[in-house]
């Protein structure tokens, strides 16, 4: 046994979402592609089997509450008013997993901040941030995204910066304020190494 929480093991090993997930078939397919991409990267990086399962699980679970109504999401997030409505699903899902007994903080942080990034994301969180954007079902900028996928995981940091540049650029182009969390993430990944 891999000592992973049963929800994490079921998601990463068997592609099963918890019964409380609110996901359409299309959303499950998207999440499955994200999980597959993450599992492939973990394997390419030489991570052990349990880590590969964890990474696949994070991918499959990241949007588990994406299609839940705001009335269901807000009570799950302390400080919900500080989050744009469209982003509440990440922290809500992380807190729902935490309430179910999942205590894997890097995985929970990855899910909570998969849309915004966060300065404290480790490899799992960075992988989810990138995989959600790069999964092959995303049609917009398909050729560019495919090129970035081909560079993974060997060119990790450069791809991470390219994905963040693209995602933040969409916000700027739409004149949507960049959150302090996203700004901190950008600062952390572009600081001299």
pTM value is: 0.96
Tell me the HSE value of 123 on the side-chain side, using a 13 A CA sphere: 13
| CATH number for the domain that contains residue 164 | 1.10.3210.10
Query: Which helix or strand (DSSP H or E) is residue 130 part of?
Result: helix 123-134
For residue 98, give its domain range. 6-190
pLDDT tens string, the chain, 193 residues long: the values are 579 999 999 999 999 999 999 999 999 999 999 999 999 999 999 999 999 999 999 999 999 999 999 999 999 999 888 888 999 999 999 999 999 999 999 999 999 999 999 999 999 999 999 999 999 999 888 899 999 999 999 999 999 999 999 999 999 999 999 999 999 999 999 998 7
Domain-embedded: residue 39 = yes
Domain-embedded: residue 29 = yes
Q: What is the distance between the alpha carbons of residues 138 and 131, in angstroms, rounded to a whole number?
A: 11
Domain-embedded: residue 1 = no
Q: What is the distance between the alpha carbons of residues 128 and 22, in angstroms, rounded to a whole number?
A: 19
The number of helix segments (H) and strand segments (E) in the chain equals 10, 0
Residue 119: name the closest of 62, 39, 183 by CA: 183
Total of domains in the chain: 1
């Amino acid at each position: 046994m891999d000592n992973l929480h049963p929800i994490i093991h079921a998601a990463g090993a068997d592609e099963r979402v918890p019964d409380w997930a609110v996901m359409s078939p299309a959303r499950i397919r998207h999440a499955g592609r994200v999980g597959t991409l993450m599992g492939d990267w973990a394997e390419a990086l030489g991570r052990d089997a349990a880590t590969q399962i964890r990474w696949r699980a994070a991918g499959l679970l990241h949007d588990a509450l994406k299609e839940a109504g705001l009335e269901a999401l807000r009570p799950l997030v302390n400080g919900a008013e500080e989050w744009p409505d469209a982003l509440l699903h990440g922290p809500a899902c992380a807190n729902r997993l935490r309430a179910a007994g999942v205590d894997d903080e890097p995985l929970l942080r990855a899910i909570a901040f998969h849309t915004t990034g966060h300065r404290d994301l480790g490899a799992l969180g960075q992988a989810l941030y990138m995989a959600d954007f790069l999964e092959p079902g995303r049609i917009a900028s398909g050729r560019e995204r495919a090129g970035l996928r081909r560079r993974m995981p060997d060119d990790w940091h450069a791809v991470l910066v390219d994905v963040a540049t693209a995602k933040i650029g969409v916000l700027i182009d739409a004149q949507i304020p960049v959150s302090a969390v996203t700004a901190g993430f950008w600062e952390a990944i572009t600081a001299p190494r």
